[in-house]
């Protein structure tokens, strides 16, 4: 752009300097003529005066523009958030010095604000990392710039493997002002918001597992149903059992005694069933502690010998030493899973303990006949066993989720089932 356009400071100064120089030269010429100087002397003197005026005006011009140029460089540094560069003024006092001082104070103020903002952003990213729900951040170019550890729940890999991926590559689409997943829309609901980081607008996507919300509602309904059933059945069974025992002592007919004994036995069985099923919907009192996995493995091997497992081979391996959980309830979960594998006619079952930076992982893999229907396995009272009661897996999920963990069950490609349990990790205090 031409610096000497009609409204520029450069043009204003140049024209004023020219006019001022011409006036000074004209006055000097008139004085020299008045005192009868020769034309040659007048020309030399006016040339010297003109040169001096040119140098002086050039210095003034350069000094004024230099102060403004330094101010512009300072403003440019502020614009790119470089608050450590300051423009040094040519003047220690006056308006120009005040102008540069104001710029310096502005830099210090913005630097302080940016420092506070960076701390807040750092805390936000730390909070994102601690959440168990998947959170994705897309930059202004609509590329994945950050995600938390729960990203692997969606895509099975760390988010770094998908850095700079587009939403389309991640199976996401934006329709009717709402983000959604193309292949898992039934399971996840996406909430969105925007925030500014480093001067750029970012999209923050928070994924909520709808299944867990629906399951919470289902569990509340089951809890209410269980309370009603338990109350009514116990009120009916108690007098029936008492009456059967009383009559059994009075009758002499052996067949009647057997019938009354059977009634009493079935009453006790129903009472026991109601008691055990009621525990599924109750909040247990957990006492988590650091569990030594080697000792836990020894206990599990001690509970199951070859006779109890019908010659099924139980293998327990570990790539980590510690586990944070309630040992009593965790052992019961493992007992249920190993018994399920045994009842599924598995010839071997392998339990593997491992850990990441965020979770302890327990995988139980067997080579049994697997499950034909995986959708209802955790539904209370649902069972595929002839003598089953549909309590074991429901109990396992209840205990794992009260540890703030997750449990997933899948059929293996060839044969059998793999159960994966993720529990929050806690470092051993030394």
Q: What is the pLDDT of residues 124-170, one digit of tens each?
A: 777 778 887 888 999 888 999 889 888 887 887 888 889 999 998 88
- Do 104 and 150 belong to one domain? no
Report the run of H or E that residue 54 belongs to, with start and end: helix 39-79
User: Stretch 348-359: mean pLDDT, rounded?
Assistant: 89
Let me know if residue 14 belongs to a domain. yes
Do the strands 313-318 and 348-355 form a parallel or antiparallel pair, or are they unpaired? parallel
Question: Is there a single domain that holds both residue 418 and residue 330?
Answer: yes
- Encode pLDDT of 224-263 as tens digits: 666 666 666 777 777 877 877 788 777 778 787 777 777 8
In tens, the pLDDT along 61-109 reads 888 888 888 888 888 887 777 777 777 777 788 888 888 888 888 888 8
- Contact residues for 21 (Cβ-Cβ < 8 A; gap 6+): 50, 53, 54, 57
Distance CA 204, CA 208 (A): 13
Residues 13 and 50 in one domain: yes
How far is it, in rounded angstroms, from Cα 107 to Cα 120? 20
Please write down the long-range contacts of 105-113, taking CB distance under 8 Å and 24 or more positions apart. 106/78, 107/74, 107/77, 107/78, 107/83, 108/83, 110/78, 110/81, 110/83, 111/83, 111/84
| Inside any domain, residue 146 | yes
Residue keyed to tokens 């034909």: 372
Same domain, 296 and 226: no
> Are 94 and 164 contained in the same domain?
no
* Residue 243 belongs to some domain of the structure: yes
Is residue 196 situated within a structural domain? yes
Least confident of 247-261, 263-277, 335-349, 360-374: 263-277
Given a cut of 70, whether residue 336 has pLDDT beyond it is yes
In this structure, are 400 and 301 located in the same domain?
yes
Q: Between these two residues, 210 and 389, which has the higher pLDDT value?
A: 210
Q: Are 329 and 387 contained in the same domain?
A: yes
Give the total number of structural domains in the chain: 4
Domain end among 50, 74, 109: 109
Please give the Cα distance from 111 to 119 (Å, whole number): 12
The pLDDT score that the predictor gives to residue 38 is 84
CATH number for 382? 3.30.565.10
d(C-alpha 124, C-alpha 295), whole Å:
39
Residue 358, Cβ neighbours under 10 Å: how many? Answer: 15
User: What is the Cα–Cα distance from 304 to 310, expressed in whole angstroms?
Assistant: 10
pLDDT for 226 equals: 64
pLDDT of residue 222: 62
Residues contacting 246, CB < 8 A, separation 6+: none
Are the C-beta atoms of 420 and 362 separated by less than 8 Å?
yes
Q: Indicate if 200 and 304 belong to the same structural domain.
A: no
Domain check: are 406 and 332 in the same one?
yes
> Alpha-carbon distance 183 to 181, whole Å?
6
| Residues facing residue 363 across a β-bridge | 352, 420
Boundary-marking domain end, from 53, 84, 109: 109
pLDDT average, residue stretch 365-378:
73
Residue 132 lies in a domain: yes
Query: What residues make up the domain containing 24?
Result: 9-109
d(CA 83, CA 409): 55
């Amino acid at each position: 752009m031409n610096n000497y356009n009609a409204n520029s400071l450069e043009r204003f100064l140049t024209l004023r300097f020219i006019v001022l120089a011409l006036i000074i030269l004209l006055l000097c010429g008139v004085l020299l003529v008045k005192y009868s100087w020769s034309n040659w002397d007048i020309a030399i003197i006016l040339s010297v005066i003109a040169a001096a005026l040119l140098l002086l005006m050039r210095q003034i011009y350069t000094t004024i523009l230099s102060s403004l140029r330094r101010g512009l460089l300072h403003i440019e540094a502020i614009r790119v958030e470089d608050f450590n560069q300051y423009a040094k003024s040519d003047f220690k006092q006056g308006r120009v010095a005040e102008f540069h001082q104001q710029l310096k104070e502005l830099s210090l103020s913005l630097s302080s604000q940016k420092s506070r903002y960076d701390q807040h952003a750092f805390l936000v990213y730390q909070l994102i990392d601690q959440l168990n729900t998947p959170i994705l951040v897309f930059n202004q170019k609509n590329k994945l710039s950050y995600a938390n550890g729960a990203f692997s729940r969606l895509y099975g890999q760390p988010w770094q493997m998908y850095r700079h991926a587009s939403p389309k590559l991640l199976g996401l689409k934006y329709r009717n002002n709402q983000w959604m997943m193309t292949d898992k829309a039934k399971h996840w609901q996406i909430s969105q918001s925007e925030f500014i980081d480093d001067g750029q607008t970012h999209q923050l996507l928070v994924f909520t597992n709808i299944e867990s919300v629906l399951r919470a509602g289902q569990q509340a309904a089951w809890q209410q149903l269980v309370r009603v059933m338990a109350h009514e059945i116990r009120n009916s069974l108690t007098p029936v059992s008492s009456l059967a025992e009383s009559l059994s002592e009075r009758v002499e007919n052996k067949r009647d005694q057997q019938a009354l004994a059977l009634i009493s036995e079935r009453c006790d069985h129903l009472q026991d069933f109601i008691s055990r099923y009621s525990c599924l919907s109750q909040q247990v009192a957990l006492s988590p502690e650091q569990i030594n996995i080697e000792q836990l493995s020894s206990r599990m091997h001690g509970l199951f010998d070859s006779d109890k497992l019908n010659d099924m081979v139980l293998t327990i391996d570990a790539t980590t030493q510690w586990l944070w959980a309630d040992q009593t309830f965790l052992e019961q979960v493992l007992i249920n899973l190993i018994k399920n594998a045994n009842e599924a006619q598995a010839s071997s079952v392998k339990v593997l303990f491992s850990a990441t930076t965020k979770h302890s992982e327990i995988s139980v893999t067997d080579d049994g006949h697997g499950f034909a229907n995986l959708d209802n396995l955790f539904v209370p009272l649902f069972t595929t066993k002839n003598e089953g009661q549909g309590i074991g897996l429901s109990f396992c999920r209840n205990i794992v989720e009260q540890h703030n963990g997750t449990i997933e069950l899948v059929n293996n490609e060839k044969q059998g089932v793999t159960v994966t349990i993720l529990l929050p990790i806690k470092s051993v205090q030394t």
